[in-house]
Structure 1
Amino acid sequence: MASSEKRLWSSRFSFIRTKRVIFSLTLLVITSVVLIALGTTHILRPKTNPSDDSQRPSDINITADGITTAPGDWKPHNSSTIAEGTPLRIMSLGASLVRGEFSTGDVGFRKTMREELIDIGAVVNMVGSQRFGDMLDNDLEAYGGNRISQIHEHATHIVPELQPNLFLIQVGTNNVLQNRDIDKAGAHMEDFINYLLRASTRSTVIFSTCLTNTVPNCEPKILDVNKQYRDLIKKFASKPVLLAEMHPSEGFPDRPQAIDIGPDGTHPTDYGYSLMGHIFTKSIQEADKKGYLRWPVEDGLEKDGDAGRAEETTTTSATTETSSTRAATAAEV
């Protein structure tokens, strides 16, 4: 009887143990499913999305070259690098400083920058509705005496057509010289940059602070505009926007100093312009390093502006020569 009773209790304990094992396994499976589901919905995953403002560092990124970007490590889809052959369709926007007025050949910073980009393996086409300066690929979108809002207006007529993938902006000095909208310079620049990013969706924008100015009473206003620009870059987290520091007040080397500004107090000497070109080149390289540069829209534009312009010149010359020959033949007849 005792033996039979022992077997009965043993059987009962065995059953209970089996139920516990089944319950434990079931609980483990349920827990695993819940954890997987939470991970899939990112609830329990570490925050690795750089577009999430809550995980960005609070400080902006400033390189040793004075190139400033907003917080985050954003890299767009279809990013590439200069070395991998992404063509640079560059639109230079601004006023007379972008045109290069008072420089030898009226090339300003553009020729220096273009040659440096070619030397590091870039394929470059400068684009815009204007042509200015003694260089083959001399297209740009710059108008002497224009303020920020005016250049913005000009851009609306050409950017949708040309779809640059790189904008270089150097404007704001005329706001100071004309004493117009100085307190709104940052807001106007913000509107301008946002327009460019919307109108040309594969683009990167590099805008620069204003150069030092020796016109009496202008430098304090230049510093005011520059502060607005430095505050503005903080708003462009997760966007392909950089600020190139052109003013010596921030202590970065190789910025145009007062001695590098010409007699009119605003336009640089040739050396000052070449420093501007170096700074823009460094900024483009920084954009490259961050993966900002994207392949431009395929719309039939030449990838190499020099080659395209040379071909255009040859075709024009051949057409002119043919027309002259026909005219001479007709005269003989």
Structure 2
Amino acid sequence: MSVHKQLLWCVLAFASQITSGLALPTPASQNHNGTLPRDALATRAKGFGNGVPLRIMPLGASITFGFGSSDNNGYRKDIRDKIEANGNKVNMVGNNPSGTMKDNDTEGWKSYTVDQVHDKADASVPKYKPNVILVNVGTNDCVQNKDLPSAGKRLQSLLDSLYAESPKATVVLSTLLVNKDPAVQRRVQDFNSQLEKLGNQLQLQADKKRLVVVDMQSDLGPKVDDLNTDGTHPNDAGYRKMADVFYEGLKEADRRNYFVAADKVDGLADDGA
């Protein structure tokens, strides 16, 4: 046998031993219709903060309450459904439940200004110790033209209280929605400028707070056509857009690793439903 033939024989023999001793990976089994099973394609979401239960307080006035929506759920059901689908247990908390949804607790108070909402928060935040607070407040200050030059200071006082009363809270603070009344809209823009300036200042401090500011007047937020006839409160489509904006804020908070477990409170389950 020539040297070349001997070498070819050795290579073929070696390859035969390898393939007989090792099994190649088999593809995922198929269903009767030839498609891959659902489990082979799906990836299960862990949820924000690696799936930490979220005890969420929606905080604000009538928009937080859900006024103007067909079911008084406002944005809360949509965002709750999104969070659950993402992998977190959710317990909405607050002293003024509203809407047809399961777990309909909220801290939304119709016609309340920043200072009045602050008073309500001082009673409810220590009681529930939320680890997420969704804040939309100030519309009534603008409608009533109430002490707008001090809006930033009054907002800061509210935020300071939230962090003092629930130190593990991540706050998602939203700007105010667009308003159909041109005079009110100008006040809203002034209010939002002070709010955004405050958010930037808090992020520059050495002891940065768990704060994300979201813009309800961005492309994602409600437009004038998404408001009810009163020109202030969203309709159902507008509330869905609010939920989308708040949800983007939660995603940003997760990217910043803000979420931590809430303090234990007797009688509060991880799932509010």
TM-score range, shorter chain: 0.7 to 0.9
Corresponding residue for residue 304 of structure 1: 271
Runs of 5+ consecutive residues of structure 2 not aligned to the other structure: 1-45
Secondary structure, aligned partner of 2:242: helix
Measured in 1, the distance between the counterparts of 2:49 and 2:113 equals 35
Corresponding residue for residue 192 of structure 1: 158
Runs of 5+ consecutive residues of structure 1 not aligned to the other structure: 1-79, 307-333
Corresponding residue for residue 270 of structure 1: 236
CA deviations on 1:133-157 (whole Å, 9 max, x unpaired) are 1111000111100011110011111
2:212 to 242, 247, 264: 242
Measured in 2, the distance between the counterparts of 1:84 and 1:216 equals 44
Measured in 2, the distance between the counterparts of 1:115 and 1:290 equals 22
Corresponding residue for residue 96 of structure 1: 62
Measured in 2, the distance between the counterparts of 1:167 and 1:190 equals 15
Secondary structure, aligned partner of 2:177: coil
Measured in 2, the distance between the counterparts of 1:111 and 1:179 equals 31
Which residue type is aligned with residue 196 of structure 2? R
Moved over 2 A (4+): none
2:192 to 204, 226, 237: 226
Secondary structure, aligned partner of 2:71: helix
In the superposition, the TM-score normalised over structure 1's length comes to 0.65
Corresponding residue for residue 169 of structure 2: 203
* Per-residue deviation, 1:216: 4.4
Corresponding residue for residue 171 of structure 1: 137
1:132-151 equivalent positions in 2, closer than 5 A: 132-151=98-117
Secondary structure, aligned partner of 1:93: strand
Measured in 2, the distance between the counterparts of 1:150 and 1:114 equals 26
Secondary structure, aligned partner of 1:197: helix
Q: 1:225 to 1:83 in 2, by over 3 A?
A: closer
1:288 to 244, 254, 273: 254
1:125 counterpart = 2:95: no
Measured in 1, the distance between the counterparts of 2:182 and 2:72 equals 25
Secondary structure, aligned partner of 2:80: helix
8 Å CA contact 1:83–1:121 kept in 2: the answer is no
1:213 counterpart = 2:179: yes
Aligned length: 223
Measured in 2, the distance between the counterparts of 1:197 and 1:81 equals 24
Measured in 2, the distance between the counterparts of 1:164 and 1:84 equals 17
Measured in 2, the distance between the counterparts of 1:298 and 1:269 equals 36
Corresponding residue for residue 7 of structure 1: none
**Structure having the higher Rg:** 1
2:79 to 99, 106, 113: 113
Corresponding residue for residue 161 of structure 1: 127
Measured in 2, the distance between the counterparts of 1:255 and 1:199 equals 30
8 Å CA contact 2:68–2:233 kept in 1: the answer is yes
Secondary structure, aligned partner of 1:253: coil
* Per-residue deviation, 1:278: 0.8
Which residue type is aligned with residue 89 of structure 1? R
**Root-mean-square deviation over aligned CA pairs:** 1.3
8 Å CA contact 2:47–2:83 kept in 1: the answer is no
Secondary structure, aligned partner of 2:250: helix
- Structure having the larger proportion of residues in helix: 1
